[in-house]
Amino acid sequence: MHRLLFLAICSIGLIACATMPDQNQDPTKNNRATFRKDLKECQEDYPEAGSGVHIRQWEGCMKLKGWR
C-alpha cells in the first residue's frame, strides 16, 4: 500500500514538473500537425527509458526545434 502511494506521488510530481513546449517561435510552424510531427521525431530519437529521463530529452529536442 505504501509503495503504491509513493509511486502515485512521484508520478504526480513528475507530471507537474514536466511541461512540454507547445508554442513555436515561427508562426507558420505553430500548428498541431507540425507539433505532432516534431514530437514524433523527438520520440524516435530518444526512446522511452524506465527512469523517465526521456521526457527531459524530448523537451530539449522540442526546444531545439523552436518550441517554447
Q: How confident is the model at residue 66 (pLDDT cuts 50, 70, 90)?
A: very high
Strand, coil or helix: what is 68? Answer: coil
Full-model pTM = 0.70
Q: How confident is the model at residue 3 (pLDDT cuts 50, 70, 90)?
A: confident
**Helix or strand (DSSP H, E) at 59:** helix 53-64
Alpha helices of 1-68 — where are they, by DSSP H? Answer: 2-17, 32-45, 53-64
Span 7-58, pLDDT tens digits: 666 666 565 555 788 999 999 999 999 999 999 999 999 999 888 899 999 9
Per-domain residue ranges of the chain: 2-64
